[in-house]
Structure 1
Amino acid sequence: MSGRRRAEPTGRWPRGWRTWAAAVVVAAVAGGGVGVGLGLIGRDRGTPGTTAVSESPAGEASEAPLPEARVTLPEGDLDSWWFGDSLVSGAGASDVEHRFVTLVARAMQRRAGWTTAGAALPLTDRRGLMRAVRDAPDPDVIVLSFGYDTSSPPAVFGRRLERLAVVLEERAPRAILMCVGAWRTEAKAAPYDRWITRVCEQFDGVPVPVATLFDRDDSRGPARRRALDAVGTLAPAGPRAPNDTGHAQIAARLLLRMGIDPVAGRAHGSGE
């Protein structure tokens, strides 16, 4: 156990079993049927790079004030563990340096030490997910990102998500939850986002919708461009896949909900 203290989140999860903190980010659509087991995404110390995490000029990074629903991370070095579908692997990005997981790590590394590890698996792979949860080291941040592979009906997806959240509560009862919504149009995302919000709030989470990002003209395309696919190799991208700008927008929205300036990598509005 890390023994780090964190600020209490909003909500209702009972506390006191463990002293370490985790932020569980549930980025979710119906993670079923489309994906395959993708294995470990590896460990990355989040070495600072030159790519800034920011959205388009009219985007999230320039919004003020911050949304009321956000989390407060512990001070000091943080370890993160990411579970998710092919979006975690970087689907749609031009390379792994531009996937939202890496961009979050880069911004957080400017704040303090930050490590990233995890496994990319579809939500339907219950056994694989249970093994991954069982074998995960005690992290400060757990990120679930099932925001891309979409085939299960909303109710089926929601029950799977809820079962996983129950397991994570048992594994990480001190966790803070952030629940990122569906990577679809607002209309198509709505039934999934209702389940995401329901599960998230049941476990004291903060919903982080991203459908408005999907609807932006600059977040996707052009179709058939060479980009990362579900297994991390370059292939023609589909029209729904987030491009580098889309990944940067998702990363910036997550960081702002953590109270982190997406560009400076420090507490938003701290003036440091």
Structure 2
Amino acid sequence: MIFGAIILGFTSEDSKVTPNIATSGRAGVQLGPAPLTVHRRQNGTTFVTIVGDALAAGRGASSFEEGFRRKVVDALRVGGRIDPVVTAPPEAPLSAIVSDAPIPERSSLVIVELGSLERIETQQQEEEFRQRYSDLIARVKVSAPAAPLLCLGAWRDQQDAFIIDAIIYDACSTDQNKFVQLTDIFERAGSRGPAGRPAYLGGGIGDVFYPNDAGHEAIAQRVLDSLSIEG
């Protein structure tokens, strides 16, 4: 689907670390080893909706198959059918993703990966991100009220992710949601780089920011460790 010059990719085939952020007064979000329960439909189908940016599109991986999104979808397909709806444009502003991403009512699970590419250097930018992210979460709850929600933190180091992760954490603070932090994977040796490696997106050349295949594998495992599929 094309919205102006923005291409959003839609397809029908396609944690376990406590946040190192101030948590006083932020009760209710599932942290630690407690998984988010996802129920398959009676016919064995899991309807998964993924809303993300270039990271969810597979940027940095050597191929589409090595991206964390594809790995998660493939793993969830084991033991039952999966019907994913994905919004993960390699290049698009957050405002377009928030307003245009489809959130089907039938969703059994919604995964949101947004915030890693946002620049927050002023109070206004912080408030704009908070409002847009909150608007998306509110839209998920209206469009797919029965779906549990998994919110991925920013793909940055702990210092750079602090404000963004706090905003995401606050937005995902109900019993049916779970916040999953990624900063420890970002900081882990071997999860990014080297610059110049062959990559699926980004002009075919990888950099030192986006996860390499090992980083995408670790993100996928973090997501899967955060879920308990029943039915």
2:112 aligns with 144
Q: Does 1:259 pair with 2:224?
A: no
Range that drifts further, 201-210 or 170-179 = 201-210
Q: Over aligned residue pairs, what C-alpha RMSD do you find? A: 2.6
Residues 229-268 of structure 1 correspond to what in structure 2 (within 5 A)? Answer: 229=201, 234-259=203-228
Q: How many residues align?
A: 203
Tell me the secondary structure at the aligned position of residue 106 of structure 1: helix
Q: Does 1:157 pair with 2:157?
A: no
2:61 aligns with 93
1:65-91 Cα distance to aligned partner (Å, 9 max, x none) = x93432111133212122111112110
CA contact (8 A) 2:112 2:149 kept: no
TM-score, scaled to structure 2: 0.78
Tell me the secondary structure at the aligned position of residue 218 of structure 1: coil
| Whole-angstrom CA distance in 2 between matches of 1:78 and 1:259 | 12
Aligned residue type for 1:179: C
Range that drifts further, 167-176 or 85-94 = 167-176
CA contact (8 A) 1:218 1:246 kept: yes
CA contact (8 A) 2:87 2:102 kept: no
- Which of 128, 137, 141 matches 1:169? 141
- Tell me: CA distance 1:178–1:123, structure 2 relative to 1, closer, same or farther (3 Å): farther
Gaps of 5+ in 1: 1-35, 46-58, 61-65, 261-266, 268-272
Gaps of 5+ in 2: 18-30
Percent identity at matched positions?
27
Give 1:123 deviation, angstroms. Answer: 5.4
CA contact (8 A) 1:44 1:116 kept: yes
Tell me the secondary structure at the aligned position of residue 195 of structure 1: helix
| Whole-angstrom CA distance in 1 between matches of 2:64 and 2:140 | 27
1:64-119 Cα distance to aligned partner (Å, 9 max, x none) = xx934321111332121221111121100111000111101111111321122222
1:131-179 Cα distance to aligned partner (Å, 9 max, x none) = 4336x46222222221532224433212210011111111111121221
| Whole-angstrom CA distance in 2 between matches of 1:129 and 1:219 | 28
- Tell me: CA distance 1:185–1:131, structure 2 relative to 1, closer, same or farther (3 Å): closer
Q: Does 1:71 pair with 2:36?
A: yes
Give every structure 1 segment of 4 or more consecutive aligned residues whose post-TM-superposition deviation is greater than 4 Å: none
1:103 aligns with 71
TM-score, scaled to structure 1: 0.67
